[in-house]
Amino acid sequence: MTYVTDPIGDLLTRMRNAQSARKGDCNVPWSRMKEQLCELLRDNDWIADVSVYGEDPKKYMTVTFNPEKPNLELSRVSKPGRRVYKSMQDLRPVLNGYGTAILTTSQGLMTDKQAREKKVGGEVLCTIA
């Protein structure tokens, strides 16, 4: 059994690798945080769908990519060795509003736009373009 020290980074890498191999979807181990992140991506039309399957000790997620969208540029910002926190005043639009940053805040996972509307800051997990 392998142990992953950065599960969010592993999710993003699996998604990048699957898209570069021209796959329509990819399977990743399940966690609540990963499911919330993928649902946030789905709600903002970055991916087509996310579905969870399996029993509790061995749950997996299938992330289905949006065929109309080009390959996502996923980059991990806050890493286990260096956490990156931004206050509401420091949050800037990614690629002049064409991209999205995902933050974990005291009010849950949200995009940078939602965080600015709610006037909260938090840890910047990743950026999507």
Whose tokens are 């993003």? That residue is 12
pLDDT (0 to 100) of residue 3? 80
- Taking the C-alpha atoms of residue 12 and residue 46, their distance in angstroms, rounded to an integer, is 13
pLDDT (0 to 100) of residue 102? 96
Query: Long-range contacts made by residues 102-107, C-beta under 8 angstroms, separation at least 24?
Result: 102/37, 102/40, 102/41, 102/126, 102/127, 102/128, 104/33
pLDDT (0 to 100) of residue 1? 61
Beta bridge partners of 75: 127
pLDDT < 70 regions, the chain? 1
Q: Which two tokens stand for residue 44?
A: 């903002």
- Please report, rounded to a whole number, the percentage of residues in the chain having pLDDT higher than 90: 88
Q: Can you list the domains of the chain with their CATH numbers?
A: 7-65 (3.30.1370.30), 74-128 (3.30.1490.10)
